[in-house]
Structure formats: C-alpha cells, structure tokens
Amino acid sequence: MFASTRFDKHRHNNFEYLKISKENPQAPTLVCLHGMFGGLSNFEAIIDYIEASTIFVPNLPIFKFDSDQLSISALSDWLDSFCDDLQITSPVLLGNSLGGHIALDYMLRFPEKVSACILTGSSGIQEKDFGSGFPRRNDREYVREQAAEIFYQDLTSDEMMDDVMEVVTDKSKLAKMLRLARETHEYCMKGRLSEIKQEILLVWGKNDTITPPEVAHKFKQLLPNVRLRWIDRCGHAPMMEHPQKFAYFVNEFLTGIQQKRNRKTISDYEENYSHQ
C-alpha cells in the first residue's frame, strides 16, 4: 500500500525499496520501516530533511507471506535478508508502528547488526485493538473514519483511501492484516527491552490514540539507553504530520551517533599509534 512516491523505486531479488543517497558520506545509514497499513510513501515527507548518508525504505512484503507464516519474526528475518542482500551494514533503524516492533525484534535477534534505533508510535507494549475486523468494511466513509484516527488532523487522501479499501475489502489481505494485528498484542516485549543496549530515540505524538503517550513513557522506563522527544498536536505518524520537526529530532540523534563514532575512531587510532 501507499506505493505511490516521487522517488524512483528499486527492485532487486524480489525486494522493492527506495534508496536515496545524500551528500553526507560520514553520516549513518538509515533504514525506515513502515507500519501495518503503510508503504513506501510514509517517510517521503522527511527524506529531504534527513542528514543521513543513505536512506533505504523497503516495502514490507506483508501480503506475500502465507497467513500461517506471517509474523513479526518472519518480517525481521526478511529485513535481515534485505540488509544482507543490499550490503547495508550497521544501519540506524527507524520504525513506525509495526515497523518499530520489527526493529525491536531485529535488535534482540541480531544485535551486532544495528547501530541504533528510532521508534515512533511503535507497537510492542500496547496499541489499539482493532478487534476481529472491520464490520462495515464496504462502507468507505466508515473506513475513512477509522483510518483518520491515525492522525491528529485528518491526512487521509482519496489515494490513501483507495489503498486502504483495497485491503479491507479483500478477504485474504484483511485476514493477513488481522493476523498481524493479533500478533502485535500477543508478542509483548516488556520483559526483554532491558536486553537492548543500543541507543534508542523515541519520537512520539502527544495526541497518539493508537499507541498513546503512556506507551512512550513505558518504553522510556524499560529501555536502558533511551531519550524521548514529543511532538504536540500530533498523532500516530509524526514523520507524516510534522516532517520538519521530526527530522530535526532525527538529525540531532544521528549527529550524536556520528560524533561518538568519530571519537572512537580517533581513540582507536591513538591507542594503536601509542603501541607502535
């Protein structure tokens, strides 16, 4: 869904993704992971403002999995294959909603492959329960009302609604979405967050009703190396609603990571030089 984008799409070995190279070769690489009803365009508004070396936005293949194989860990495995195939090393992961849940699982299972993480509206602790389905899934206006809950101010375009309606009116696709939604509830990460040692940035909408502010506070309490930034008058998708402010927080975080890398490089050089 939301595959329409102003950037060129790349395809390689069944992977579909955006790859935007920036003029910051020393900066970290950023891999952006969209949510359950998301797609390639979800991070489009922030790309011009982000000071990374390269930005990758993979299209998560939710509908390409068989229903009985679809899980957060399966998508985490897929992400590992994506990074290996494209030779992406030590990226910073940026995950929204389900994408954040995948990023957390990935860091627990492949900790040596991730340098840091940014979570925004992430599932993994608590999120709105969509129940057993959309009882009026053929009612476009009803579905629009449900979709609009993602935002503080309704950003649901007709094109976005076309994508959503395509999913909720297709029994197979809807079944996969609901299976994944159930898993986000069943796969609670509270007991394992203390194992994640990488730096984490939380960027949260103060008006998020899907993963409300108490979820951000809980993440801050349970993650050992974390900072929290708030965006006012903002819902579940800050990178879409307030792209410049969101990018400011992300750039601040990426700059800090790069400065630490530079200090470590200098320190390693001085140590090696002193032994010569």
Distance CA 154, CA 157 (A): 9
Phi, psi for 85 (deg, rounded to 5): -65, -40
pLDDT at position 248, please?
98
Distance CA 121, CA 270 (A): 41
- Specify the higher pLDDT residue, 169 or 81: 81
Strand, helix or coil at 28? coil
Distance CA 122, CA 215 (A): 9
Angle at 153 between CA 147 and CA 154, to 5 degrees: 35
Question: Is-contact 127 185, C-beta < 8 A?
Answer: yes
Q: Which of 57-61, 113-117, 184-188, 190-194 has the lowest mean pLDDT?
A: 184-188
- Residues 6 or more apart whose CB falls under 8 angstroms from that of 222 comprise 125, 190, 193, 194
The DSSP bridge partners found for residue 121 are none
Please report, to the nearest 10 degrees, the dihedral formed by the alpha carbons of residues 114, 17, 8, 91 taken in order.
Answer: 0
Q: Report, as an integer, the average pLDDT of 178-198.
A: 94
pLDDT at position 157, please?
85
pLDDT tens-digit map of 218-272: 999 999 999 999 999 999 999 999 999 999 999 999 999 998 887 765 555 445 6
- Specify the higher pLDDT residue, 156 or 30: 30
pLDDT at position 79, please?
98
Domain 9-128+188-274 belongs in CATH node 3.90.1150.10: no
- Specify the higher pLDDT residue, 191 or 142: 191
Question: What percent of the chain stands above pLDDT 70?
Answer: 92
- Residues 6 or more apart whose CB falls under 8 angstroms from that of 35 comprise 42, 96, 97, 98, 99, 121, 237
Q: Tell me the pLDDT of the chain averaged across its residues.
A: 90
pLDDT at position 130, please?
54
Question: Is-contact 58 83, C-beta < 8 A?
Answer: no
Structure tokens at 239: 């990178």
pLDDT tens-digit map of 95-149: 999 999 999 999 999 999 999 999 999 999 988 765 445 557 778 888 888 888 8
